[in-house]
Amino acid sequence: MSKAIKTILTQCNRADINFCLKLNQLSKYPVILNFFNFISWLGNGKIWYLIIFIIPFICNTGIKISVELIFFGLIGTIIYKILKNTINRPRPYKINQSINLGGKILDQFSFPSGHTLHSVIFSLILIYHFPILTEILVILTLLIGLSRVILGMHFPSDVFVGALLGYLIFKLFLIYRDYENIIYL
């Protein structure tokens, strides 16, 4: 690897840690800590499981939408577990003692953020079907991603890559929808 690339990677890593440190300092305030623990808890799947369960009862295509959420959520789970277990990036609080762990972790490694990945997948699929929910779902997704850094569980780059992967999986969903529409013509 060239010296220039190593320098860039070092600077990016330093910025990642510094930004994580700054956001993590917010967790010293109990109100912020409790709020983002609740948001993170929702992002553990609670809100998405509830939505998947409720949708079939509130719209005609609800079962199909729930199956789409489950299927593309499973794709996300497979991808992020492979990446986590291949890359093995330690969580921020394990790398820097100034970063406080503000909540419960679900697994050992940091990269990428599964909470963010799934929030992006589920939110974008739900927005596709229910555009009226756009603002609520975008805010929830941003809060879930932010919670992971504030609580010292992820670096900002983990959240960014999780969001990017979630978006790419949503693009697969769009390809599936286009293909499905061709079949039914």
List pLDDT tens digits, range 15-66: 888 888 889 998 999 999 999 999 999 998 889 999 999 999 999 999 999 9
Q: How far is CA 114 from CA 8, 131, 155, in A?
A: 26, 24, 12
Torsion angle of the four alpha carbons 120, 88, 19, 124, in this order, in degrees rounded to the nearest 10: 0
Among 55-64, 106-115, 141-150, 167-176, which is the least confidently predicted range? 106-115
Domains parsed from the chain with CATH numbers: 3-183 (1.20.144)
Instruction: Tell me how far apart the alpha carbons of residues 20 and 96 are, in angstroms, rounded to a whole number.
Output: 10
Query: pTM for this structure?
Result: 0.88
Compute how many other C-beta atoms are within 10 angstroms of the C-beta atom of residue 167: 13
Q: How far is CA 155 from CA 56, 58, 118, 162, in A?
A: 36, 38, 17, 11
The pLDDT mean for the chain works out to 89
Instruction: Tell me how far apart the alpha carbons of residues 5 and 15 are, in angstroms, rounded to a whole number.
Output: 15
Q: Are 119 and 141 in contact (CB under 8 A)?
A: yes
Token pair, residue 5, equals 């690339």
**Helices 47-58 and 114-129: crossing angle, nearest 10°?**
20
List pLDDT tens digits, range 68-88: 999 999 999 999 999 999 988
Asked whether the bond before 112 is cis by omega within 30 degrees of 0, the reply is: yes
pLDDT of residue 185: 46
